[in-house]
Amino acid sequence: MRNVLIFIMVLCLSDSLAQNKQLLYGLEEVPQSLLLNPGSRVPQKMHFGIPFLSQIHVNGGATGLTVFDIFGESNIDINERIRNKIFEMDNKDFFTATQQLEIINFGWRAKNEIYFSGGVYQEFDFITYFPRDLAILAWEGNRDYLDYPFDLGEVSATADLLTVYHFGANKQITKKLTAGVRVKLYSSMMSIRSTNNQGTFTTTLGDVNSENIYEHTVSNADVTVNTSGIASLEDMESSEIPGEVIGRAFFGGNFGIGADLGVTYDINNRLTASASVLDLGVVFHSNDVETYAATGSYTLDGIELVFPPLSAGQSTLPYYDNLEDEIEAAIPIDTITSGYSQLRPVKFNAALKYSFGKTVGNSSDCDCRNMGGGVERAQAAGVQFYSILRPKGPQMAGTLFYYRRLWDFLSAKATYTVDPYSFSNVGLGVVTDIGKFNFYIAADNLLHYGNLAKAKSVSLQLGFNIKFDEE
Amino acid sequence: MPLSMKTNLLKPLAVVFAGLLLTSCVKDTDFDQADDITLTPVVELDLIYFNIEAGEFYDEITDMPILTLSDTTEIRFLDDTEIQESLRRADFYFRFTNSIPRNFEVDFQFLSEQNDTTYITGTSVIEGTIENPVVTEFEQIIEGDDIVQLTMADRVVVSVTIPDSDPSLEGTLNLKSKTTYYLEIRDRE
């Protein structure tokens, strides 16, 4: 149990609102910003990511809880602190972790002025909502909760490990408008999901007509767990599993398709709007699929003894087996091996950017070849919006940002983000271009870097690329 | 801009940023406390129930009284390793409602898988009438060494003994029962 707890805590330490890369969004110096908006403007002529190092992204977060809340040094007993937290949090609170590792990333501008880009990355994405009622039941038991319907529907979690192959095209269509599209092929290595559950468990004190003291009732249970790529691992030696899973990264597993869409539009030469929709896609799970579904209602009264007249040596009725059979008949747990499809968590980004300060690069206020188009300036500020579709509805974040190109080789972006975790998330990203060598690093929740244990979420992205600028 | 200047500027910046990341740490925490995490749920659960008609204490075929009725049920979870490790206390509560004009002795004998008796308890039930059934409550708190004994059992034999009976005896002996399990669940590696 301890290992599991620490694992969850470490996951939580490792990334903010899953996959909100507010620092990289719109940061055109970083080629990976094309993965956040395929319709972003692309300044370079060609780029390659350094394999396995072009984007390393980790993100972990928990609403309503920090590692410090539980493991901080304190005179209060840890069990008391856990208990207090269980009652403080609600079933909208969640724990999440995301990790991405880019294996390959490349892009080039073709003769027709279309910037093509593609690559492969691996992604792990996990979210679980806090099943408050079940936590209370496990922590306290049912004695003090007679007549309280414990909600089984609070169980809501997904975990996915997959590889994404992607290829996109981006073009400046008019002076003001740049648009792009990216198609994705998902190869799922492992997936587990339990969402849209329902049912209650209630213990009530029986009355005179009741069979026994209590009635323990499971009412309208409908609990489903979808697994893909997991059942076949159960029979394997633990040493064989990593090899098997890695093997699926390349054409094993289950496949899916999806798309990213994005646009950037210059409203005038200072104001730019952009938006993107990412992972508009579906994964079809058909191989190595096991779905467990439990549905039904049942009231447990205990075991009724009937004192059957028995001759010597004769055994009585198998009450316990009968009870188990009765429960299984009332709430059967079916194992279904037919496939299912799973929507990817759709992400939506939007930004409005106001540029100011001196102009940089080749652009100027009066560029006759670029009438009405945006002008690159040394500073910008603006707002961003991010949303990801999760099992219990969208999670949203708003960001204020300030961008500054300090020198030709160095740009920085600072963000202040409000999301379900906190109102104090300050982030900083830095990009350097030294010759053809591009390096970026971005981290948020900097105010908590003094003590990560007190952070509700942490997000980090870094990577190395080779870029060839336009002549 | 000469390359040397770029690297000169970059180095301190990189150092500052890397420093920020590396010095970021998890402070004032004590993960050994995880060893102390203990779940202490208190679980209320129905046990057994029965309704015995007075007529069951008399065999009309042989015209003989049957003075003791007994029956056995498994309680298979009781000797699970998890329960053996975690159960600290169990409060048994039995409520008899008797409308038979006889006192009863009711015994509960807990048996292990090997048929050894690990724990015994029992009570007397006061006589009642059909017009005025009498309720007898019996509580048994089990803790300490007795819990170790109890959790070696996976069955209970219930014996109901009547001092005497005849064919004209009327009424019902009803039992309802529950157990309160006090658990202490922790990592015992």
* Residue B176: per-residue pLDDT: 96
According to DSSP, the residues that pair with A463 across neighbouring strands are A440
Residue-wise pLDDT for A46-102, tens only, equals 999 988 888 888 877 777 777 777 777 778 888 888 888 888 888 888 888 888 899
Assigned token pair, A34: 């094309």
Report which of A136, A100, A106, A130 is spatially closest to residue A118, judged by C-alpha positions: A106
Assigned token pair, B144: 């300490």
B39-186: CATH homologous superfamily?
icosahedral virus (2.60.120.660)
* Number of separate helices (H) and strands (E) present in chain B: 3, 12
Residue-wise pLDDT for A126-139, tens only, equals 888 999 999 999 99
In whole angstroms, what is the distance from residue A54 CA to residue B160 CA? Answer: 78
Which percentage of chain A shows pLDDT scores above 70? 89
What chain A residue is nearest to B7 in terms of C-alpha separation?
Answer: A434
* Residue A419: per-residue pLDDT: 82
Chain A residues whose CB is inside 8 A of the B176 CB are 206, 210-213
Which residues, at least 6 apart from A278, have a Cβ–Cβ distance to it below 8 Å? A35, A36, A260, A346, A347, A348, A349
Instruction: For residue B110, report the phi and psi dihedrals to the nearest 5 degrees.
Output: -90, 130
For residue B46, the tally of other CB atoms under 10 A from its CB is: 22
Q: Is the pLDDT assigned to residue A370 strictly greater than 70?
A: no
The amino acid at residue A434 is: I
Q: Is the pLDDT assigned to residue A103 strictly greater than 70?
A: yes
* Residue A222: per-residue pLDDT: 95
Size of interface A-B (CB pairs under 8 A): 173
Chain B residues whose CB is inside 8 A of the A5 CB are 34, 37
Choice between A58 and B59, residue whose per-residue pLDDT is larger: B59
Determine, for residues A408 and B26 on separate chains, whether the beta-carbon distance falls below 8 Å: no
* Residue B26: per-residue pLDDT: 61
Determine, for residues A302 and B178 on separate chains, whether the beta-carbon distance falls below 8 Å: yes
Range in A176-180, A247-251, B102-106 with the lowest mean pLDDT:
A247-251
Determine, for residues A5 and B158 on separate chains, whether the beta-carbon distance falls below 8 Å: no
Q: Is the pLDDT assigned to residue A11 strictly greater than 60?
A: no
Mean pLDDT over each residue of chain B, to the nearest integer: 86
Euclidean distance between the first and final Cα of chain B, in Å?
62
**Across the interface, which of A68, A142, A452 has its CB nearest the CB of B25?**
A452
Tell me the average pLDDT across A193-208.
Answer: 93
Residue-wise pLDDT for B128-169, tens only, equals 999 999 999 999 999 999 999 999 999 999 999 999 999 999
* Residue A362: per-residue pLDDT: 56
Position A15 confidence tier, pLDDT thresholds 50, 70, 90: very low
* Residue A132: per-residue pLDDT: 92
* Residue B3: per-residue pLDDT: 41
Range in A91-95, A150-154, B70-74 with the lowest mean pLDDT:
A91-95
CA neighbours within 13 Å on the CB side: how many for B119? 23
Ranked by mean pLDDT, which of A3-12, A82-91, A448-457, B168-177 comes out on top? B168-177
Determine, for residues B47 and A302 on separate chains, whether the beta-carbon distance falls below 8 Å: yes
Position A451 confidence tier, pLDDT thresholds 50, 70, 90: low
Mean pLDDT over each residue of chain A, to the nearest integer: 86
* Residue A157: per-residue pLDDT: 92
Q: Is the pLDDT assigned to residue B2 strictly greater than 70?
A: no
Position B7 confidence tier, pLDDT thresholds 50, 70, 90: very low
* Residue A215: per-residue pLDDT: 95
Chain B residues whose CB is inside 8 A of the A1 CB are 37, 186-187
Chain B residues whose CB is inside 8 A of the A216 CB are 45-46
Q: Is the pLDDT assigned to residue A238 strictly greater than 80?
A: no
DSSP label at residue B29: B
Geometric angle at alpha carbon A44, from A40 and A48, rounded to 5°: 100
Rounded to two decimals, the ipTM of the complex is 0.83
Q: Is the pLDDT assigned to residue A335 strictly greater than 70?
A: yes
Q: Which B residues, 148 through 167, put their C-beta within 8 Å of a C-beta on chain A?
A: 158, 160
Chain B residues whose CB is inside 8 A of the A206 CB are 176
Tell me the average pLDDT across A351-366.
Answer: 75
Position B24 confidence tier, pLDDT thresholds 50, 70, 90: low
Position A9 confidence tier, pLDDT thresholds 50, 70, 90: very low
B39 touches chain A (CB under 8 A): yes
Residue A276 Rama label (left phi>0; alpha psi -120 to 50; beta): beta
Determine, for residues A213 and B31 on separate chains, whether the beta-carbon distance falls below 8 Å: no
In whole angstroms, what is the distance from residue B145 CA to residue B151 CA? Answer: 10
The model scores a pTM over 0.80: no
Choice between A19 and A329, residue whose per-residue pLDDT is larger: A329
Assigned token pair, A381: 């500020």
Determine, for residues B34 and A318 on separate chains, whether the beta-carbon distance falls below 8 Å: no
Tell me the average pLDDT across A406-415.
Answer: 90
* Residue A16: per-residue pLDDT: 42
Q: Is the pLDDT assigned to residue A457 strictly greater than 80?
A: no
CATH class held by domain A2-469: mainly beta
| Pair A60, A14: CB distance under 8 Å | yes
Position A448 confidence tier, pLDDT thresholds 50, 70, 90: low
Q: Is the pLDDT assigned to residue B31 strictly greater than 90?
A: no
DSSP label at residue A72: B
Picking from A10, A13, A307 by the largest number of B CB atoms within 10 A of its own CB, the best residue to mutate is A307
* Residue A235: per-residue pLDDT: 79
In whole angstroms, what is the distance from residue A232 CA to residue A254 CA? Answer: 13
Q: Are strands A333-336 and B58-59 parallel, antiparallel or unpaired?
A: unpaired
Determine, for residues B187 and A2 on separate chains, whether the beta-carbon distance falls below 8 Å: yes
B135 touches chain A (CB under 8 A): no
Choice between B134 and A372, residue whose per-residue pLDDT is larger: B134
The answer to whether the Cα torsion of A322, A324, A328, A330 is positive or negative is: positive
| Gap from B47 CA to chain A (nearest CA, Å) | 5
In whole angstroms, what is the distance from residue A284 CA to residue A394 CA? Answer: 22
